[in-house]
Amino acid sequence: MGKHLVLVGGGHAHLTCLKKLKDFVERGHTVTVIGPAPHHYYSGMGPGMLAGTYRPQEIRFNIQKMAEAGGARFLQGVVVRIEAAAKRLVLATGEQVSYDVVSFNTGSGIPLQSLRIAPEAKVFTVKPIEQLLTAQALIKERLKKQELHMVVAGGGPAGLEITANLWRLVVRLGGEANLTLVAGRRLMGDFPERVRSLAQASLTARGVEIVEGAHLQEVQTNLVVLRDGRMLPFNLLFLALGVRPSPLFQDSGLPTGPDGGLLVNDHLQSVRYPEMFGGGDCIYLQSRPLDKVGVYAVRENPILYHNLLAALENKMLRRFQPGGAYLLIFNMGNDRAIFWKKQFVFEGKLAFWLKDYIDRRFMRKFQVSGELTEA
């Protein structure tokens, strides 16, 4: 007798399941896919979309079409509570969805609780990626009338790429803007010195002011206040601070890691509820905490696909092996990029070409027919 599988979120870790939904349906199981929107945007190409290098439809997956093409039901909504003992999900609308097996791939977001932000301030978080589309439209409109002061907060890869691609957008539109990157303790401080120096040199050469050794304390309507007392005027502020999973799992009383992510074993399975799985940024792997980079979600794909099918049919689960060193390439917004893997670091047009090739190939692998021609 068939069972009910629910996939919550259409992120990277669920893509193989979404592509092979017929494997579940043809075995007699029913599948429901729950997502906040019909599309899921690929964060690795988000800064490039902000700059205008990519069109929105080039960096998104049509989760609704993938679900329906595979014989699943797509339900647009947000899960706000998990009633694990009853095997039930509660949506923001109040609707309830029961499951036999459930998997979460709900990603992460920018925590704003520690910041005082004036309601009138124009503030954009780098996640969800759709925020960057809204910001792009506003920048286009305002650059026609005025010189902009834009501040980016966050000294990691997201802050670096957003700053670099804001520069590209302003240049492409022929406008004038002052760009400041508030890099926290140190720009790209968790990376090798060579990566850091290349990033700093690239931004500085384009007139970007980099503020190190300082963190945000308060955001007034047109003024950023730093903890050391400095004040920076701005028209638009982008928050690229450290991402964290949504509070959904903690609020639902589930076992979580220190970051609030769903605590899972090596089968990507909840340590308390064997019918519950997860992948990507929203989980915390008990045996080996993982960096919040998309490569791990991609590596989790085949394991989640196998284990969800196995859980539905009481078969043997597979262990997830995180794998070795991963590659990161940072889009610097000037048709150049910084390449880093282990001790190998270089900067240039070749690095950007490689990133563009890898990203486009990844998108093609999971695209629905006709998606790239959508308006």
pLDDT tens-digit series, residues 241-295:
877 888 999 999 999 999 999 999 999 999 999 999 999 999 999 999 898 888 9
Mean pLDDT of all residues belonging to the chain: 94
For the chain, where are the alpha helices, taking DSSP H only?
Answer: 15-19, 21-25, 46-51, 63-69, 130-143, 157-173, 193-205, 248-251, 294-312, 349-365
pLDDT beyond 50 at 373 = no
Share of the chain above pLDDT 90, in %: 86
What percent of the chain shows pLDDT beyond 70? 98
- Is the model's pLDDT at 114 over the cut of 80? no
Average the pLDDT over 328-345 and give the result: 97
Pairing of strands 236-239, 123-125: parallel
Please give the average per-residue pLDDT across 109-134, as a whole number: 87
pLDDT tens profile 1-59:
799 999 999 988 999 999 999 999 999 999 999 999 999 999 999 999 999 999 999 99
Q: What is the mean pLDDT of residues 71-82?
A: 97
- How many residues are given for the chain? 375
By C-alpha distance, which of 126, 23, 44 is closest to 362?
44
3-state helix, strand and coil shares in percent for the chain, rounded to the nearest 5 = 35, 25, 40
Binned at pLDDT 50, 70 and 90, residue 370 comes out as: low
pLDDT at 375: 46
pLDDT at residue 115, rounded to an integer: 82
Rounded distance between C-alpha atoms, residue 51 and residue 374, angstroms = 20
One fold for both 4-36+77-108+244-326 and 116-241? yes
**pLDDT tens per residue, range 181-213:** 999 999 999 999 999 999 999 999 999 999 999
Structural fold of domain 116-241: FAD/NAD(P)-binding domain (3.50.50)
Per-residue pLDDT tens digits for 130-145 = 999 999 999 999 999 9
For residue 374, is pLDDT > 60? no
Q: Are 279 and 107 in contact (CB under 8 A)?
A: no
> Where do the structural domains in the chain lie, given as residue ranges?
4-36+77-108+244-326, 116-241
Architecture in CATH for domain 4-36+77-108+244-326: 3-Layer(bba) Sandwich (3.50)
